[in-house]
Each structure stands twice: as C-alpha cells, then as structure tokens.
Structure 1
C-alpha cells in the first residue's frame, strides 16, 4: 500500500533566465495606486487635505508589513490574511488622523474605501498567478505547469478550481462602488467605513468556504479569516451603534456571521473524526492520492494509496462495449455521512475527468465507489439520449450502464450529470 506524500507545497526552484514581473506585482501596484487615488478623493470631499493620502499609504504599508512579520514569527511560515492587514491599516490610519488633527471618521471612510478598491484589483493578480486559489470543482479556472515555479501545487495542474479570487474581486469592487456612492450621497462620516467593512468581511466569510490553498489555519474548523470576520463585524456593529451611526443591516450581518460560525462548528463536531476529511490540507492529500491511484497510465496493477487520516483510495479504468469508464474506491476509517461521501466523489471526478458523468455507489457506511463514464450524447434538439443497452462494469454490481438513471435508493446508487 502506498502512502500519499504530505506536507506544505512550497515554491519550486526558479528557472534561470531573465527576471520577469509577475501579474501579482503589477496588479498590486495598480491596486495601491487606485487605493491612494480613491482615498485622496474621499478626503477632499470630506474637507481634509488630499495629500494626507500619501501619509496614510506609508503608514498602512508599515502596519501591514509589521503584521506579516508578526504572523511569520508566531506561525513559523509566511502568510498574509487580508482581514488582518486591513485591521492593522485601520489602526495606523487612526493614528495618522490623530497626529494630523483630522476627524478619524473621515480618514477611516477614505482608507476603507481605498482598501477595498485595492483588493478588487489585487485579487485579479492572485487569479492570474494562481495564489489564493479555490477548491477543485467540475468547472473553474485551470493552471498549468508554468505556475509551479510561482508556488502553485504541481498536483493541481490541470484541475478545475473555483475562481474564488475573481469572486472576491467582484465583491470588493461592489463594496468600493457602494462606498463611493455613499460618499457622493452625503453619508455621515464613519458610516461608509462601517458599511464597507461589514459588507466585505461578510463576503469574505462565505468565500472562505471555497478557498483551497493550504494550510488554512484556524480553530474548530474555521479559518483565521472567518474568525476575524466575525470579530470585525461584531466590533463595527457595536461601535457604530454606540456612536449613533449604526444601521440595522450591520447588526443583522454580524448576527448572521456568528450564527453561521456556530452552525459550522456544530456540524463539524457532529461529524466526529470525519470532520477533517475535507479540510484544505487533507483535500490536497486526496487529490494526490487520486492521481497516484490511477497512475501515469491506465491498465497497470491496482494501487491503494493511503492518506494521513487513513483514507484509502484505489482506481482503475477500462472500456466495455465500446464505452470507456474509470472507477475509484474510497475507504474511510470511520463512517461518513452521505454529504461528505458525495463531496469526495465530486473531488475524484474533478481530478480524474471533470466532463464525465458520475455514479456514486455506497458500499456501506465507510466505503464508496465512484464510477465515471462519458456524458450521454445529445440529440439535435438538445435532449439527452437515453442508453438502454445493459452492460456490466467490473465492481459495480449492477447490470445497468452507469450514469443512465437518476437515483436508486435500493442500491445506494446516485448519479450526477
């Protein structure tokens, strides 16, 4: 039995040659320029000197760098969490406002609006180079081997990933536009900063569910960003309420994040040992296990690959009656609920053949078989053609063509288009 390689994926050795400027650097520079311009514009509308934006930029960069250094010292690895950086920039901005004798609320409106504009542009750089990527999915963005030297995991090359960077860019852009509209509409000082903060952290909490980069450190199954989002929303809602500038939706969003966090923690505890099955770090192991189980070429001896949690994966492929198929058997060291079993099956499909039709066969509470077959050809009218011939695939225990029927509760079979 083979054991899947574990550990954190790091950047590969740089390829000798001319130095190149990455899209991450370009988008970061453009985002910083946009943030400074937006902050200066908001300061001018609030009656503060626009040149103060330069001082805010310098203070923000120092604060963000200090947070990054502190995080590396505590966690012993390089990591950047946007929510943490934004909090540090906000504190630095308040200090600059106090020194310059400018209302803190006006400065925070400018800084927060500028920061979400920075994220809207900067996340496009993340999307381009392959950092902060999403979880494997049937449809999504794919990265090639040329991104491995930038630190992208080699085992995810060619696997469709949720474009979570683009989703966050769109969310941040919408928040930035909302902030600009609020300033132009004459919103009271501080309300723009409060609203933009609550809106962004709420979106970030949800998007973290589709983040696939590893490790996603945290506690009780939630990442640092999710816990920080809850804390930030609660703090803003409380401060705004005390100051008289709070909005009802601030409190609703904060309450929603807390309830969402409680639900996720409770669900993970109910799952017991299987709660870690789809954690980002173990998901990487499952992807590597699927790749190793199928091997570089089909038709070889069956190989069973085991992850650090004791999950065993084996796979094979062949053809019957002119139809190709592939199958994988996943065995768990503990009973797994149907939702996690289905999620594991979808992961197998995303890695092996995202365009295939999936048939999930339950072989007890701790083992499932995943059968992948080509999609049914469609007629000229777009309707799926039903295959009625009967064929037996090794190990399926069924005389039907996999994928030709929706759900069969008696055999524990489910199919997904």
Structure 2
C-alpha cells in the first residue's frame, strides 16, 4: 500500500489486484487438487498465474502495466518469504540429509512429512530460500522508492530469485516434485522465466540490463555442464540420490521387510529359507533383506544387485549408504561381495560383540 501511494498509483486498482491474486491462488489450488487428487501449493504455478491475470486485468482497464507488476511481484515475494518460514516449521519443501540442519518428528509425518527422514538431520533449505527472497524484496522496494524505470523491480526479482531457486533445487530432498532429464520442474521453470525476461528486455518491453542476459546465459551453461558431466559419469550417483529414487528404496525395503519370508534365519549352521521377495527400483536395482542370527547374534542383511548387469562397488556403496540413512540403521556395517556383481550389506547392532561379529563373517 505504501509503495503504491508513494508512486501515485491507484489504491483501488491495487485492491483489485490483491483480490484477483487471492482468487487466482485459490482457483489454482482447487484445479490442482481436482487434477492430481492431492492438495499441492506450487509457488511457480501461482507466481505465473497471478502475474498473467494481473497483466490481463491491467490491460482491460487500460492502466499502465509495469508499475503495478513491480508492486505485485514484490507482494508475491513477501508472501513467499512468509511461506518458506511455514515450510521450515512443518517440514514441507525440505532439504536433503546433511551433517547439520533440522530434525522432524512423528507429528510432522502425520501431517505429510517424508516419513523415512524422521529423526534425520536435513539441510534447512527453506530458511535459506526465505532469507534470499527477503533480501530480494528489500532491494526491489528500494528500486521502487528510488523511482527507477517501471519494470526494474520485476526484472530484478525474477532474474535473481530464479538464479537462487535453480541452485537451491540441488539441495531439495522432498520426493513429490517431478523431474525431467535429471532436473526438477523448479529448475526448468527458473530457466524458462529467465529466458522470458531476457526476451522481454531485448524486445524493449522491460528495461535492458546486460548482466541479466549474462546471468541467464550463465545458468543455461551451468545446466548444460551439469547434464554433460552426469552423462559421462558411469556411476550415475545423481540418479541414485534423486529424491524420487530414494523414496523408491525406502518403499522397497518397507515392502519386503513386511513379509515373513524376507527373513533368512541361520541357526547353529542350519538354514531355513523360504522364497525371498525382491524389490526392484526404477533404476533396475534389486534389493532383498533378511537376517542372520543365532542365540546371541543378530545381523541385518541386505542383498544388492542390478537386474540386468553387474553392480559396481561405487554404486553398491551409494545404495548401502542410502539404506542405512533411510532405515536409520546403527551399528557396525560391512559391504562384501563374491565378485559376481552382487553385494551384501551386513549391519550388526551396537549391542552385539565385536568378537562374535568377526567370527560370524
């Protein structure tokens, strides 16, 4: 309101834009729920939808577009700043496991938090994005107060937010968002919006800044370099660590662990073993689980292999680390193989004797 009055813009039109933004927000949320069957709030969808509707509204009433879009985008940024604080509190849009960060608990899982990360320290990417957005909005407000050309704050916010968002996405760990060619929907949207702003500046629709063009080209080059590096790396670790694949591993272990026949019990040298169920992820990684135990020893056992080729040790170690992470396994661990492309992850709880562990192996 204060910025609108300072620029001599109509408060009535601003109120109309606020009402339109609320209506657009609710409509998009409802349509998304109808299509997907789930309640999802995707920031970029709402930013784009609100900006398009605001542009159409201003065009219809024949008022200057860019001054009001400057105010609108800063309002959206303020809303996002508050929203990401809320994300941090409830656990949505969370980061990946990290040596320092935040924990989430059962009440968060009951509200929709990723269950296999309960008690796991996660990088607070929501807080980082919130701080980033706040700084951008403050700078944008000074641009408006400094009476810079209409569209300056709009272009500034879109370019700088999208740079940050593209980078932040690498640290996101929530599995719900779609990926294409190894990059998240948020990253693709960031690049597309930056290119749109660049086109607008080259076409004279927005104030031109060479660094905006350079930044856009830089992000495209980074994206290309990352994709090229991934293509020529044989391990494919980025695919293994993709949040969706991590979820597949967690779900696979839950599925096979729930079956009694997933247990291979070895007692006094005699084996009683049913058909062991095997779960396969979208990357053709096969996982089975069981236990080796007698009267004094219990060792959790996970067999890892590829469905159609031999597994490398690097891949096996990556998958083993993910299993330990999502299952929150503690104790001594060992990864062994007989050279046939099948690896065995053995986990001995802390309360088992080291001597017994060594003799069992």
The gaps in structure 1 that reach 5 residues or longer are: 1-39, 319-323, 375-390, 396-417
TM-score, with normalisation over the residues of structure 1? 0.66
**Any idea what the Cα deviations from partners look like across 1:142-190, whole Å, max 9, x if unmatched?**
2111123312233332222222222221221121122123223332211
Equivalent position SS for 2:11: coil
Work out which of the residue numbers 196, 205, 227 in structure 1 matches 2:166: 205
> How far apart, CA to CA, are the structure 2 residues paired with 1:48 and 1:170?
29
Cα 1:358–1:267, aligned 2, differ >3 Å: closer, same or farther? farther
In the comparison of the two structures, how many residue pairs are matched?
339
- Quote the RMSD (CA, aligned, Å): 4.1
Equivalent position SS for 1:187: coil
The gaps in structure 2 that reach 5 residues or longer are: 266-275, 293-297, 350-356
Cα 1:352–1:149, aligned 2, differ >3 Å: closer, same or farther? closer
Cα 1:135–1:97, aligned 2, differ >3 Å: closer, same or farther? same
> How far apart, CA to CA, are the structure 2 residues paired with 1:356 and 1:172?
41
For the 8 Å contact 2:256–2:288, the answer to whether it is kept is yes
Q: Do structure 1's residue 60 and structure 2's residue 27 form an aligned pair?
A: no
Equivalent position SS for 1:139: strand
Could you tell which deviates more after superposition, 226-235 or 165-174?
165-174
Cα 1:186–1:209, aligned 2, differ >3 Å: closer, same or farther? same
> How far apart, CA to CA, are the structure 2 residues paired with 1:283 and 1:81?
22
Aligned partner of 2:242 in structure 1 is 279
Work out which of the residue numbers 67, 86, 105 in structure 1 matches 2:66: 105
Aligned partner of 2:285 in structure 1 is 311
Q: Deviation of residue 82 (structure 1)?
A: 0.9
Q: Do structure 1's residue 250 and structure 2's residue 223 form an aligned pair?
A: no
> How far apart, CA to CA, are the structure 1 residues paired with 2:235 and 2:213?
34
Q: Do structure 1's residue 170 and structure 2's residue 170 form an aligned pair?
A: no
Moved beyond 6 Å, runs of 4+: 291-295, 315-318, 324-327, 336-339, 354-365, 369-374
Cα 1:46–1:306, aligned 2, differ >3 Å: closer, same or farther? same
Q: Which has the higher contact order (CA 8 A, sep 6+)?
A: 1
**Any idea what the Cα deviations from partners look like across 1:335-368, whole Å, max 9, x if unmatched?**
6678765654543443355998988778869556
Q: How does 1:139-158 map to 2 (within 5 A)?
A: 139-158=100-119
Aligned partner of 2:326 in structure 1 is 351
> How far apart, CA to CA, are the structure 2 residues paired with 1:113 and 1:98?
20
> How far apart, CA to CA, are the structure 2 residues paired with 1:123 and 1:246?
31
**Any idea what the Cα deviations from partners look like across 1:313-339, whole Å, max 9, x if unmatched?**
467899xxxxx9988654334466787
> How far apart, CA to CA, are the structure 1 residues paired with 2:183 and 2:30?
23
Q: Deviation of residue 308 (structure 1)?
A: 3.0
Q: How does 1:208-287 map to 2 (within 5 A)?
A: 208-243=169-204, 245-267=207-229, 269-270=231-232, 276-287=239-250
> How far apart, CA to CA, are the structure 1 residues paired with 2:312 and 2:134?
38
More helix per residue: 2
Cα 1:218–1:129, aligned 2, differ >3 Å: closer, same or farther? same
> How far apart, CA to CA, are the structure 1 residues paired with 2:231 and 2:129?
29
